[in-house]
A and B are shown apart, each in its own frame.
Chain A
């Protein structure tokens, strides 16, 4: 389902020298598989997720999702591909404050090129216990509720892969487990593969597969 081969990414130092960030020889995730990615802070985990999502261009290599090498896709096609096949849950939830819970979920459908299905968005929110909070804006929702809306938004297009970037980093231990349960349950129900970045050993311990991102010659590699 997801295959990374020889993916490398570097930034430029202020003096113009290249700063290697990623050097992934191979990483593969199967359909419906749930994988945790760990690594020390600043080692390039978020950059890797951005590269997989096509939000950051790579210097070389292949990122294949459902057989499509997104590195070779033109940007506009890649954007549409992302809307249709990928779901993203951010560390800070990143709900848009001007929109209601339902509208935030519908926003996830807006850029697919297909007619937004309000019924599905409502159904998803109802399923995660927010059926009574559809018209509330993020400011009126609790932290847990906001994260649930973010999960619903990520899953609304029935993507093949969910990328979750430290979704439990900003919540207390009680909420942490709720979020993990929510993500795992939703991905199982929707048959969505998940690549979850976390620092937490407790979270990582709940997953069958944990990949470690380690610095080798300054660039992160999958151990």
Chain B
């Protein structure tokens, strides 16, 4: 907070009012609604509902399809986060070294931020279209027996590939700015002491980028949880048999297409808890980074 501030007056309330009103209507109310509904069981016609304590949660947590989806979400998020971070770190280190054409490379590697996830999903799934998709045809020519429409692992491969493609640019931007924040004197001293660029990377650069990497890990996990909705909805739609349905996608399918309000709300509440933990974790970490 500031040392010098304006004193008591109604003015600050006027300034926060727009944000607080919007939050109250479109955030607090729905969130409360979700918690409330997660304790209710509606009858088949949606005419009446009954308070059932934690039954919806028990149902969700013991349902095989939710557990399957939770398992997929963990695998998917980890793969997406690790792969996209690794690829973009690799590219950022090289882009930081080149002198000729540096600007062009940077632009070519960062515009992907502006592509909407469903657009990425559509581009990707077209390349895997069994009729004409180049990658689908290529993989099968290589004798891989690739079929993402029936095989869950192949479908996972497709959504991971698309999600990684979409995320590389964001990570690249952060790594590049992290690399540019390393003092020139440090890099120059390291060059004098150690000729091998690989060793220099692992002993100097990577430890210095550790805070950035850790921070990106959290960002990427959040991305894989939520923002990949568009990718999945346009590419696999959770097929085959829910093998590529993330938890967020399942909330949508059960709540809107399946009209199971109680179950869907209970899923929402569980997700809220998970995200809260993730965010609090992120904030604690950032606080530490500031002091460091």
Q: Is chain B a partner of chain A in the same complex? A: no
Residue numbers of A with Cβ under 8 A of B are none
